[in-house]
Structure formats: structure tokens, C-alpha cells
Structure 1
Amino acid sequence: MNARMVAVRAGLHRARLELSQALTSVQELWNLLFFPVIGMFAMFMFRGNDVPGTGFSLGAHAVPGILAMNMMSSGMMGLAITLTMDREDGTLLRAKATPNGVIGYLTGRILSRGGLTVVGLLLPLVPAAFVFGGLDLGRASAWLTLAWVLALGLPAVLAIGAILGSLFTNAQSVGVLMVPLMLLIAISGVFYPVTAFPGWVEWIAQAFPLYWLGLGMRSAMLPDPLAAAEIGDSWRHLETAGMLGLWAVAGLVLAPRVLRRMARRESGTDLAARRKKAMQWS
């Protein structure tokens, strides 16, 4: 077995350890479930309102979009913040000092964050199925659809997070992304059908993976007649697969290059400079 495969196996072991530790940490679970809990509580207050033109609860309609939103928050933002924090505390530099250590480190971090993102989707889904009536999860096709949406959407979300984590120098600077992310959530049909917005807003929303994640999850979890509330009165599975696949491929092509560049540029001098700057702000 070559050295790279040994590093990958070490990364897999690290991912299992990190995932098991995170799932036994109250703080980590709260961070993971904060957005869906708040979002679903807000939509529970609107459970008596209907999606325009239907008799279906607006609250139940929003559940898939809230779960898609949590994927973006946990997968993209979570990985970006983790990478920048590891650069700040010297974790990446220590990994770089070990032969093929960066490969093992990145494998572990990306897989553990991916596992947490999936858990963050499934855990709220169980109580949501009981709290919000109308979710159509009893079909095998619903879970098959959810599986392929996750298979395409998760690599896209994690790749974007890896790229952002490589570009920003500290965790505080990553926080500025929350503002555009909140704006994107507002126009992507998470809480309200995107067809209620002007046409130019619809086009902006469709340029980003969050809209397609939400659409794919709605097609899996909601009854087929609810497609009438979507663009083109259709779930547009082909377009969903194409756009999520495009984002995934683009991210998987760019992310390794950016991550390698980040690892090459990491040095003790940079670490000392970041720590000095952090002490000046504290």
C-alpha cells in the first residue's frame, strides 16, 4: 500500500473519531440543530396558512427548504470555519510536517463534516414528520430522490466550503458570509415559494445550489400536486440533477487546487503573524 493510501486510511479513521466525538457533544449537536429548530419553530407558527393556490400548509411546505438551508450552513459554513480555525491554531501546519499528513487531515475533516451534515438533515426530519402534517415520506421513491439529491448536493456544498475556508485567513472573516447567505436564503424558496418573487429574483436564486437543494428535497418530501407552486409547475428533476452536478464537478475540480495552494503557503511565520494579530484584537 502506497503512502497516499495510508494517509487516506488515517483520514478515514480520523473522520470516524471526529464524528463520534461530535455526536456525543451537546454543544456540537446544538450548533448542528440550531438553524432547523429555529426555522421549524417559526414555520410552526404559520402552520395555519396555506401555500397560495393550494390547501397545503405553508409550514409543512417550508420543511424541505429549511433542511436544505441547514445543509448549506453546516456543510459549507461549518467546513469553511473549521479550516480557518485549524490554520489559526496550527493544526494544518502540524499536519503539513507529517509525510502526506495534509491528505489525511483534509480527508478526515471533509468526511467528518459531511457526516455531520447528513446527520443534521436526518435528525430534524423525524420530529418534523410528526409535527407537520402532509410530508409524504412513506414512498420508497421519496427516499431514492432524497438519496440522489444528497449524493449530488453534499459534494457541491462541501467543495464550496473547502474553497472558502482556503481563501479566508481567520474564522471571524468567514462570518461576513452570513449576510449574503441570509439574503440567498430569503430568495431561494426556503420559507416561501420562489414563484412569489419577481422573475429576475427567480433567475438569481436558480444560479445557486441552495435553490436546487430545496427543490430536490421538496420533490422528495411533498405530494406531487405541490409541484404547481414551483417554476414551470414541475419538480424539474433533470434540471436539479444537472445544476447540482455542475456545482459538484466545478467544486471538486477547484477545491483540491485551492487546498493544495493553501497547504503549500502555510508556514510558521504566517502562523506567528496571525497569532500576534489575534492578540492585538483580544
Structure 2
Amino acid sequence: MTGPTIPRAVLQAALRQARTTLIRKWTSPSGIGTLFVPVVLIAVLLFLRDVDFADGVVAAGGYVFAGFLGFGVVAAAIMGVAGELHQEREDGTLLRAKAVPHGMTGHLLSKLFVTPVDALVPVVPAVVGAMVLLPEDTLPSTVGGWLLLLVVFLLTVAAMMPWGAVLGAIFRSMVGLAWSMIAIYALAVVSGLFFPASLMPTWAQWLAQATPMYWIGRAFRAVLLPADAAAVEVGGEWRLGLTLAVLLAWTVVGLVVSPVLLRRMARRQSGSVVAAARERVMQRGY
């Protein structure tokens, strides 16, 4: 027996939709404005270039840069996907996709192509700035190192995308989705994404390790920072194999949970639901 396959026409349609989405987004004022974030990061790196953690063991600039890469993945794969699904549910996009054969499959496939690019575009100017401002050993110096960085990037995107879909499927109101985004920002702050989790109390370290953001930050740091920087990590070593295994586990669980919730969300889509959402937006503004 063979598993279900995706028709070639659906894959081609998903690629066309992804191309159109990317062109529209990154040529719009809001998309171009996103590139201001790497400029701010470069300014922060310039300010932190001579600041160290743990008596000079770790350069603060390298740690912040690794955290920026990790949070960029979280922003694109969780907050971006969740926000887009919520908007598409209310403006009728998902209803129209549902009405076309394989439409929902193609629509979700297009997001699979779009999200890694959305996460990658702001990274490029940030990497260029880091190459100029940070010590030479902050970025990979070999082809193998760059390939490992690419693997970590793609794995973290794959780990977080399903959870963005889960949030978009669960929260039916903009208020609930906004609160979930605030919670993600709070998790990013306390999960050790931008600073060593070992500086926190032991109980906070355990809580941080229960979040995927801790392991995302740790994966990027293991690839980017020198071996001595592991001294300030929980456990005192990188444990890259364990880190990648944890991220893979988050990916698998997300891929199991998200299709169930997305199918339930699709079944609930109807013309009356979309009309009610539009009426609410006209009355309340959200």
C-alpha cells in the first residue's frame, strides 16, 4: 500500500501562491519595514561588542546575535503563521480554499514554502553586520559549519511552524491571539534565548528547558559560539545531539496535533461565520 500523495497540480499551485505572497509581502511598506529590525540589531551589536558574560568567557554580542536568529524563527513560524491563519479565516480566504479540490492542502503547502523565506530575509543583513562587527569565531568559518547552521535553521522552522498553526486554529478572536503573542514574548524573555539560563535560579532553569525557545537558542549558540562558551550553559556543555533531538520531538508532536486542529477549523468555516466576523470587525474594529 502507498500513502496519500499530493497531486502535481496542487504542488505547482502552492509554489505559485508562495511566489505571489512573497513578492507582495517583501515589496510592500510593511515588509520593507521589517528590515529595520536587523539595523537595530547591528546597532545593539556595536554597543555590546566589548561586553562579556561570565568574566570574559562569552561575548555578549555573539549571544545576542544567536538569540536574534532564534527569535526570528519564532516570530515567522509561530506568530506569523498564527496571525495569517486568523486573518485568512475571517476574510474568507480559508473558506474559498476549502471550496476548491485540494485547496486547503495547497494553501497550507504554500505556507510551508513561504515561512522559511520570511524567517531568512531579515537574517541576511544581520549576518553581514555580524561578520563586520563581531569576532571572527562568532560565525562559521567552514562550509560544514555553514551547512550545520542551515540545518539548525530549517529544523527550528519546522519545529515551530505546526505550533503557529495550532495557535491560529485554537484562538478564534483577535484578543485571544494577542494574549497568546504576549505570552510568547514573555517566554522568549525568560527562556534564556538572549542570555545564559544558568544565570537564573534552578527552578527557573527547569522551566526554561520545558520551552522550545530555550532549545532553539541553544542550537544556534552551539553552532555559532566557540566551544568555551558552553561553560555558561546549563550542564556546562553544548549537547548539540540532545538539542536537535528535542527540537525534532517538538516537530513530530506539532505535526501530529496541528492537522487535527486545522481540519476541525476547516469544518467550522462557512459563509455565515465569515459574515459574522466581518460584521464584528465593522462594529469593533477588530
| Fold similarity call, TM over 0.5 | yes
For 1:54, the equivalent position in structure 2 comes to 56
Partner of 2:47: 45
Superposition deviation, residue 84 in structure 1: 0.5
For the residues of structure 2 that align with 1:228 and 1:180, how far apart are their CA atoms? 29
TM-aligned CA deviation for residue 204 of structure 1: 1.2
Q: 2:268 aligns with which of 242, 265, 268?
A: 265
Q: Deviations over 1:187-227 (max 9, x none)?
A: 22232211100111111111121111111111111111111
CA separation of 1:40 and 1:68: change in aligned 2, threshold 3 A: farther
User: Could you tell me whether the CA contact under 8 Å between 2:21 and 2:114 is conserved in 1?
Assistant: yes
C-alpha distance in structure 2 between counterparts of 1:21 and 1:201, whole Å? 42
Structure 1, unmatched stretches of 5+, are: none
Per the alignment, residue 221 of structure 2 pairs with: 218
Hey, what does 1:7 align to over in structure 2?
10
CA 1:25 to 1:124, structure 2 compared with 1: closer, same or farther past 3 Å?
Answer: farther
State which of 93, 96, 102 in structure 2 corresponds to 1:94.
Answer: 96
Counterparts of 1:267 and 1:93, CA distance in 2: 6
1:150 corresponds to which letter in structure 2? F
Task: Report the alpha carbon displacement of residue 130 of structure 1 after superposing the two structures with TM.
Answer: 1.2
The one-letter code of the counterpart of 1:81 is G
Say if 2:191 is the partner of 1:188: yes
Contact 2:37–2:122 (8 Å) recurs in 1:
no
Aligned to 2:255: 252
Q: Which residue of 1 aligns with 2:129?
A: 127
Task: Find 1:107's aligned residue among 102, 106, 109.
Answer: 109
Per the alignment, residue 141 of structure 2 pairs with 138
One-letter code aligned to 2:77 = G
Aligned identity (percent) is 34
1:152 equivalent in structure 2: 155
Q: TM-score, normalised by structure 2?
A: 0.90
- Contact 1:136–1:223 (8 Å) recurs in 2: no
What is the number of equivalent residue pairs in this alignment? 280
- Structure 2: how far apart are the matches of 1:274 and 1:81? 15
| More deviation, 125-134/40-49 | 40-49
* Distance in 2 between residues matched to 1:8 and 1:62, nearest whole Å: 38
Secondary structure in structure 2 of the residue aligned to 1:232: coil
Over the residues paired in the alignment, what is the CA RMSD in angstroms?
2.1
Task: Give how far 1:240 is off.
Answer: 0.6
User: What does residue 239 of structure 2 align with?
Assistant: 236
The residue type paired with residue 238 of structure 1 is G
Encode CA deviations 1:94-116: one digit per residue, 9 max, x unaligned: 11121221111111133212321
Residues 1:180 and 1:35: Cα distance change in structure 2 (over 3 Å): farther
Call closer, same or farther: CA 1:112–1:3 in 2, change over 3 Å. Answer: closer
Query: What one-letter code is carried by the residue in structure 2 that aligns with 1:17?
Result: T
2: CA distance between counterparts of 1:220 and 1:122?
17
Which structure 2 residue ranges, 5 or more long, are not aligned?
none
Distance in structure 1 (CA, Å) of the matches to 2:37 and 2:79: 12
Per-residue deviation, 1:150: 2.1
Q: Is the 8 A contact 1:187 1:202 kept in 2?
A: no
Q: Does the 8 Å contact 2:191/2:213 carry over to 1?
A: yes
Contact 1:85 1:170 survives alignment (8 Å) = no
Give me the whole-angstrom Cα distance separating, in 1, the residues matched to 2:271 and 2:99: 11
Partners in 1 of 2:126 and 2:28 — Cα distance? Answer: 17
Residue deviations 1:227-253, cap 9 Å, x none?
111112211112111110000001111
* Distance (whole Å) between structure 1 residues aligned to residue 144 and residue 233 of structure 2: 20
In the TM superposition, residue 117 of structure 1 has moved relative to its aligned partner by 1.4
Letter of the aligned partner of 2:53 in structure 1?
V
Q: Which residue of 2 is the match for residue 81 of structure 1?
A: 83
- TM-score when scaled to structure 1? 0.91
CA drift of 1:266 comes to: 0.3
Letter of the structure 1 residue corresponding to residue 222 of structure 2: S
* 8 Å CA contact retained: 2:57, 2:228: no
